[in-house]
Amino acid sequence: MIRLIGIDVDGTLLDSQGLMPAANRDAIHDAVAAGIHVALCTGRSYPFARPVADPLPVSITLIVSNGAVERAMDGSTMARRLLDKEVARTVLEATRPYRDAAAVIFDRDVERQFMYESMDWEHPGRKHYWSRNQSLLAHASPLEDALIEDPIQVMFNGGAETMRALSENLLRDAGSAFAVSLTEYVHRDFSLVDITAPTATKGRALAWRAEQLGLRREEVMAVGDNFNDLEMLESAGLPIVMANAVEGLKGRGWHVTGHHDEAGLAQAIRRFAL
């Protein structure tokens, strides 16, 4: 019996227009009514993720910033797994050629959450974020000067091929110092690379939530569509992949549900959890 569902947001809960299909909303309400705990698991920070959850039951939790922070719907913090600021400094110094694609993100709900040095906000992949979140963004030069406290993450964004190469280089250097998550949108030629604390991944965060609820792995279901969902899917007893998922998640023998424009999440919840 499924008693916990970890749900990715972009490409899973939301459709290609960034909207939540009514079928997904209703399926989540029915799951919660059936006694199933639901956790949204996203690379978004809490201020950017919280509005998405407005139509959902108040009992759900939000695992944000790829597992670095977990909060309840009322904003109270349940867990924080921050990146050591000296590790963040080392990452920034080792990636200077990517400085125009770099940012440092902090667990702040107001201004100066997202610190950058020389990012081009006219880039098509960034323009929408800039227009919606200017109040949370601030400039720091050099970017290392922003590290007055431990951040949630160091983040890079840009062309898919460039970010894939950066991700591979960082993975070789990571060791036990930090975790690397890659989120690809190949059709937009835009990708994100997130550097977090080694314990700050969607998979470890969902496993921690299961432990807090006293659940076994077999009672956990996860649904996702991108590479930053891989560890979460591997940690769940029942991993489900969206039809619109990146090819790297398919062919692993996991169930594939419908497309996010066809409420594939709702299909998975009703078939496997309800």
- The conformation of residue 252, written as its DSSP 8-state character, comes to S
Q: What is the mean pLDDT of the chain?
A: 94
For residue 115, give its domain range.
85-196
One domain for residues 102 and 50: no
One domain for residues 173 and 124: yes
pLDDT reported for residue 107 = 92
One domain for residues 205 and 188: no
Question: What is the per-residue pLDDT across 14-67, written as a single tens digit (0 to 9) for each?
Answer: 999 999 999 999 999 999 999 999 999 999 889 889 999 999 999 999 999 999
One domain for residues 124 and 218: no
Given 178, 196, 214, the domain boundary residue is 196
One domain for residues 103 and 74: no
Average the pLDDT over 140-146 and give the result. Answer: 96
Written as one string, the DSSP assignment of 104-172 is EE-S-SSTTSEEESS--TTSHHHHHHHHHHGGGEEE-SSGGGG-SS--SEEEEEE-HHHHHHHHHHHHH
Given 140, 165, 196, the domain boundary residue is 196
Looking at the structure of the chain, the number of domains it has is: 2
One domain for residues 115 and 65: no
Given 152, 179, 196, the domain boundary residue is 196
Measure the CA–CA gap between 231 and 270, rounded to whole angstroms. 23
One domain for residues 189 and 98: yes
One domain for residues 134 and 225: no
pLDDT reported for residue 33 = 98
pTM: 0.87
Question: What is the per-residue pLDDT across 100-118, written as a single tens digit (0 to 9) for each?
Answer: 999 999 998 888 999 999 9
- Looking up residue 127, the CATH number of its domain turns out to be 3.30.1240.10
Tokens linked to 115: 């610190």
One domain for residues 167 and 210: no
pLDDT reported for residue 255 = 96
With 90 as the cut, is the pLDDT of residue 144 above it? Answer: yes
- Looking up residue 25, the CATH number of its domain turns out to be 3.40.50.1000
- The conformation of residue 198, written as its DSSP 8-state character, comes to T
Question: What is the per-residue pLDDT across 77-104, written as a single tens digit (0 to 9) for each?
Answer: 999 999 999 999 999 999 999 999 999 9
Question: What is the per-residue pLDDT across 154-196, written as a single tens digit (0 to 9) for each?
Answer: 999 999 999 999 999 999 988 889 999 999 988 889 999 999 9
> How open is the CA angle 173-43-177, to the nearest 5 degrees?
25
One domain for residues 90 and 175: yes
pLDDT reported for residue 127 = 81
One domain for residues 211 and 184: no
Element (H, E) at 72: strand 69-72
